[in-house]
Amino acid sequence: MKNAYLAVRSAILWMASGIHFFVICTFLVCLAIFIDPRKNDWPQRAFFRNILRVAGVKFEVQRAPNFDPKRTSIFICNHVNIFDPFVIYSAIPQFVRGFELESHFKVPAYGWMMGRFGNIPVPDAPSRTGLEEMSRRTKAAIDSGISLIAFAEGSRTRDGHVGPFRKGVFGLAQKFGTAIVPMSIVGSFEFFRTGHWMLHPGKITVILHDTIETENIGRDEVDALRERVHAIVSAPIEEQMRLREESGKTD
């Protein structure tokens, strides 16, 4: 009976979310023709937050004491599912754009939107020219006060754990002396798992950890920085998984 309820509930929520997404997304694309999205943030932010509401998500943001909400930074978080962009935009209290695979920019309509919105292409097959262009665009965004979000794992989790982080974004942060904000998305895996379609009632908590300075970090310390950020991001996620497993054993 419970599974039947969840199936019906999920179908209704997917339908409502899909209609909301396509209607509002079409409006934002049309609006972007006339107004630079980087100068018109509030309708995008309202849209992303509403997607979570329509999908039935309870949402909470926790900020660490030394998180600087006004500092242009690179936010690094775990990658869970297709709702991540909506979660991120709802949680970060400043204008933010992301790194996107270069091939995505070639998708009709969607690719134009990504380019127009100011996302940064990441080469599918790394090349010197492609990486140099990505580095140039990253610096330009940061210099203009645009914070960036990176999924350092490079792919969505299939088991709820945070996978190893790739080195690239940490090298860019070190190169430009850009602050890093570790960011943990907790509870999203329990809400919706990649490869499945059921939406489970639940709460997503986003933790914005203390801002980490990189100005005095040398190139030989990038790997240590990557491991440090991975440990910070994964800690609350692993703790929730541990508590859930223990709860399952006692039930």
The string of DSSP letters for the chain reads: -HHHHHHHHHHHHHHHHHHHHHHHHHHHHHHHHHS-GGG--HHHHHHHHHHHHHTTEEEEEEE-TT--TTS-EEEEE---STTHHHHHHHH-SS-EEEEEEGGGGGSTTHHHHHHHTT-EEE-SS--HHHHHHHHHHHHHHHHTT-EEEEETTSS--SSSSPPPPPSHHHHHHHHHT-EEEEEEEESHHHH--TT------EEEEEEE---B--TT--GGGHHHHHHHHHHHHHHHHHHHHHHHHHHHHH-
- pLDDT(181) > 90: yes
Query: In whole angstroms, what is the distance from residue 234 CA to residue 34 CA?
Result: 41
- pLDDT(246) > 80: no
Q: Which pLDDT belongs to residue 148?
A: 94
The dihedral region occupied by 154, where left means phi > 0, alpha psi between -120 and 50, and beta the remainder, is left
Residue 242: other Cβ atoms inside 10 A: 10
Hey, what are 192's tokens?
A: 């919706």
Residue 53: other Cβ atoms inside 10 A: 14
- pLDDT(172) > 80: yes
Q: Which pLDDT belongs to residue 27?
A: 82
Q: Which pLDDT belongs to residue 206?
A: 97
Q: Which pLDDT belongs to residue 109?
A: 60
From 38-52, 133-147, 232-246, the region with the lowest mean pLDDT: 38-52
Q: Which pLDDT belongs to residue 251?
A: 52
From 35-39, 40-44, 157-161, the region with the lowest mean pLDDT: 35-39
- pLDDT(6) > 60: yes
Under 8 Å between Cβ of 87 and 207: no
Hey, what are 222's tokens?
A: 């990038």
pLDDT in tens, 56-66: 899 999 999 99
Query: In whole angstroms, what is the distance from residue 189 CA to residue 91 CA?
Result: 17
At residue 122, φ and ψ (nearest 5 deg) are: -110, 125
Model confidence at 179, pLDDT cuts 50, 70, 90, reads: very high
Range with the largest mean pLDDT of 13-22, 82-91, 224-233: 224-233
The identity of residue 117, as a single letter, is F
- Select the more confidently predicted residue: 117 or 95: 95
Residue 180: other Cβ atoms inside 10 A: 26
Model confidence at 224, pLDDT cuts 50, 70, 90, reads: very high
Query: In whole angstroms, what is the distance from residue 251 CA to residue 246 CA?
Result: 9
Q: Which pLDDT belongs to residue 9?
A: 87
pTM over 0.75: yes
Model confidence at 231, pLDDT cuts 50, 70, 90, reads: very high
Mean pLDDT, residues 51-59? 90
Hey, what are 82's tokens?
A: 């297709």
Query: In whole angstroms, what is the distance from residue 79 CA to residue 8 CA?
Result: 27
Under 8 Å between Cβ of 247 and 103: no
Q: Which pLDDT belongs to residue 249?
A: 59
Model confidence at 225, pLDDT cuts 50, 70, 90, reads: very high
Q: Which pLDDT belongs to residue 43?
A: 81
State the residue for tokens 């962009």: 85
Mean pLDDT, residues 142-161? 91
Q: Which pLDDT belongs to residue 99?
A: 85
State the virtual CA torsion across 222, 224, 228, 231 in degrees, nearest 10: 120
